Amino acid sequence: MSATAASETLAHVAETAAPEHHRSGERSHRARAGLGMLLRIILCLVFGLPLLFMLVSSFKPDLQIFDDLGSIKAFLPTGDISTANYSGVFGRVPFAQFMMNSVVITVVTVVFGILVNSMAAFALARIGFKGAGIVLGIILATLIVPFETLALPLLWWSNQLPFLGPDGFSQGWLDTYQVQIIPFIANAFSIFLFYQYFDSIPKELDEAAKVDGAGWFRIYRSIIMPLSGPAVATVAILTFLPMWNQYLWPLMAVQSEELRPVMVGIDYFKQLNTSWGQIMAYATMITAPVLILFIAFQRSFINSIASSGVKG
């Protein structure tokens, strides 16, 4: 305390006795701000330029991509600009099919994920039952298990599972749509996020609704879910991103070309003669949907990532 007091007095003395010192402090403050700005801009280039390079190169012929590497032209749409790489991609792989598969897999998982996980969280957070605490404890404990540890046993297990589809009873889930969707619907982290949110909504709402004669399912559907927009957005985004980007699982679980998602499709371009222009075009096309969604819902994206950090 005395040290602080002393330094305060010192600062006071310095202020009154030597105003020019104070001004130099101001100058160093401005210099520091300038340095910070410079750093921010350099970092902008570090994170932005590779992606800009990808976009620009997707419009250039292979030879020109290499020629432009040595200069600033690598990041500028100069020279022989065309959409030839894009038509090349469509000629080389069933791109529309890959895209449709990814959209179907992602959308179905997100929609059912919101439904299934929010219902489970509602049961745990708002209805409650004997042992609900233990169930939540088990769900939280599984959060430390990364999917990659289970991938190989799950692959074997998926091949043993029966499935009742439109064509009747079949054995083994490998090489199907459902193997890319159903294992990822229920998610411990999504349940946790919903649980946290539901738990923060005043319990009096339930009581009031009950007085009005509403049942639990009605309360879930008409009161709690409409109030939980931010939680739904968070879960939707945190399900959407990894599902769209999934690579390891479809690489192993799906062999048929017509069932493959976009990420696995990139492997086609590494085989045979590599055309970097086409790779950049393909990469741009599979990144664009996420990028557009991100720009449109930026705040929700950032908030959902931020709220994923609240656990711990």
Partner 1 sequence: MSTITAAESASAPAATARKRKPMKGSRSSTTTALLMLLPAAVLLITFLLIPIGLTFGLAFTNARLISPRPAEFVGVDNFTRLFDDETFWASLRNTIIFAVVIVPLQSACALGLALLVNVKMRGVNFFRTVYFLPVVTSMVVVSMLWLFLYQPNGLINQALARFGIQGPDWLGDPHTALLAIILMSAWQAMGFHMVIWLSGLQTIPGDLYEAADLDGADTWQKFRYVTWPGLRATRTFILITITISAFALFTQVNIMTQGGPLDSTSTLVLMAVRTGFQQQQTGYASAISLAFFVLVLAVTLVNRYFTRDKDVVR
Query: What would you report as the CA-atom Rg of the chain, rounded to the nearest whole angstrom?
Result: 27
CB of 213 to partner 1, least distance (A): 12
Pick the closer one to partner 1 by CB: 35 or 81: 35
CB of 252 to partner 1, least distance (A): 5
Pick the closer one to partner 1 by CB: 188 or 231: 188
Pick the closer one to partner 1 by CB: 10 or 81: 10
CA 79 and chain centroid, separation: 36
Pick the closer one to partner 1 by CB: 81 or 138: 138
CB of 130 to partner 1, least distance (A): 5
Cβ partners under 8 Å of residue 254, min gap 6:
174, 175, 176, 179, 180, 260, 261, 264
Residue 133 backbone zone (phi > 0: left; psi -120 to 50: alpha; other: beta): alpha
Q: What distance in Å separates the CA atoms of residue 159 and residue 153, rounded to the nearest whole number?
A: 10
CB of 262 to partner 1, least distance (A): 9
Pick the closer one to partner 1 by CB: 23 or 210: 210
Number of H helices, E strands in the chain: 17, 2
Query: Dihedrals φ, ψ of 98, to 5°?
Result: -55, -45
Q: What distance in Å separates the CA atoms of residue 106 and residue 302, rounded to the nearest whole number?
A: 20
**Residue 235 C-beta-side C-alpha neighbours within 13 Å:** 31
Pick the closer one to partner 1 by CB: 93 or 188: 188
CB of 85 to partner 1, least distance (A): 14
* Cα dihedral 118, 123, 192, 248 sign: negative
261: nearest Cα among 229, 288, 286, 234: 286
CB of 86 to partner 1, least distance (A): 16
